[in-house]
Structure 1
Amino acid sequence: MQKLWILCGLCLLTSCKRLTFQKDKTRELIEQEMQNIDWNDVDQYPLFENCDETASKMEQKQCFENTLLSHFSSTMQEFEFKLDAEINDTVNVDFLIDKTGSISVLEIKKNPALEAQIPEFNGIIAQCLNSLPPVAPAIKRGIPVNARFRIPIVLNSD
């Protein structure tokens, strides 16, 4: 009977070592997979209703950009700006489309002279982004993710 208890104890100790080996191997595989993921790229771009989700990644990107820029262009043309001096500048608008599809302005990089002439410019940009049609979030490995974008807006008073 004593030999049976010793044999059970040895089997128990051996099986525990095997479990820790499996944990280490799994952890190593996960770390290796995490290093292989390109975190700066998404599998599917955010999509508007008029974009085809079965299209190629490049076509999705073009549809997203075209819809975004045409909306921005048409919305910006509705506003009339009164300027004291001629403006020929580029404004960079950084915004985020979160994993629920909500859009928020992160930063607007512009010339201080533009701020002096058009103090309401930030509000107009925020209004343009908030009036976008509903957008589905970007997808990475089957999971909705946050995606940050930058729109360059060329302002020319000619």
Structure 2
Amino acid sequence: MQRIVVLLVFLSLGSCNLFQSKEKRTQELINAELREMDWNSVDSYPLFLECDETASKEAQRKCFEHQLTTHFENTLREFEFTVDSDRGALVDVIFVIDAKGKISVEKIIKDAAILRQMPEFDGIITQSLKNIPPIAPALKRGIPVKTKFKIPIQLNTK
């Protein structure tokens, strides 16, 4: 009887270590996979309804960029932006598409002359992005992820 009790105690202690080591190995594999993953790229770009989700990554990128620039052109065509400057005025709009497909402006980079001559510019850009058609978020290993983009906008000069 004493042998059975000692054997049961030994097996129960050994089995806890067995589970713990499996859990530890699993965590080590996950950590290794996370370290090797390229976090600066996505498996598929954010997509508008007009874009083909089965297309190649490059085709998805082109479709996304085309739809986005078309939306910007159509929206900004309603306004006449001109800047008194010797050089072309370039504005960089940095925006984020979250894991739910919601788009938001993170930053608008422009020089002081643009701010002085067109104080309403930021509001127009922000409103333009709020009125954008629905976007499916980018995917990384089948999971929706947040992505950041930058669009340069060239303004006319007088």
CA RMSD of aligned residues (A): 1.3
- What's the counterpart of residue 49 of structure 1? 49
| SS of equivalent residue, structure 2 residue 61 | helix
Distance 1:4 1:82, change over 3 A: closer
Tell me the distance in 2 between the aligned counterparts of 1:133 and 1:62: 17
State the secondary structure of the residue aligned to 1:54: coil
**Aligned position for 1:23:** 23
Q: 4+ residue stretches of structure 1 with deviation over 6 A?
A: none
Aligned residue pairs: how many? 157
Structure 1 residue 82 displacement after superposition: 5.9
Deviations along 1:49-100, one digit per CA (max 9) or x if unpaired, are: 11011100000000000110111112111102465x2361211101011111
* Alignment-derived partner of residue 98 in structure 2: 98
Q: Work out the CA distance in 1 between the residues paired with 2:68 and 2:106.
A: 17
Q: How far did residue 156 of structure 1 move?
A: 2.3
Equivalence map 1:20-99=2 (5 Å):
20-81=20-81, 83=83, 85-86=84-85, 88-99=88-99
Within 1, Cα distance between the matches of 2:37 and 2:68?
Answer: 28
- Secondary structure of the corresponding residue to residue 58 of structure 1: helix
Q: Is the CA contact 2:96–2:146 (under 8 Å) kept in the aligned structure 1?
A: yes
Q: Which residue of 1 aligns with 2:123?
A: 123
Q: Helix, strand or coil: the match of 2:45?
A: coil
- Contact 2:101/2:136, CA 8 A, preserved across alignment: yes
In 2: Cα distance, 1:99 partner to 1:18 partner: 38
Deviations along 1:92-125, one digit per CA (max 9) or x if unpaired, are: 1010111111111000010011000000000111
Q: Secondary structure at the match of 1:51?
A: coil
Match of 2:137 in 1: 137
Q: Which runs of 5+ in 1 are unaligned?
A: none
Question: What does residue 154 of structure 1 align with?
Answer: 154
Gaps of 5+ in 2: none
Matches of 1:82 and 1:64 in 2, distance apart? 28
Conserved 8 A contact 2:46-2:139? yes
Between 138-147 and 60-69, report the one with greater CA deviation: 138-147
**TM-score (normalised: structure 1):** 0.94
CA displacement at 1:153 relative to structure 2: 0.7
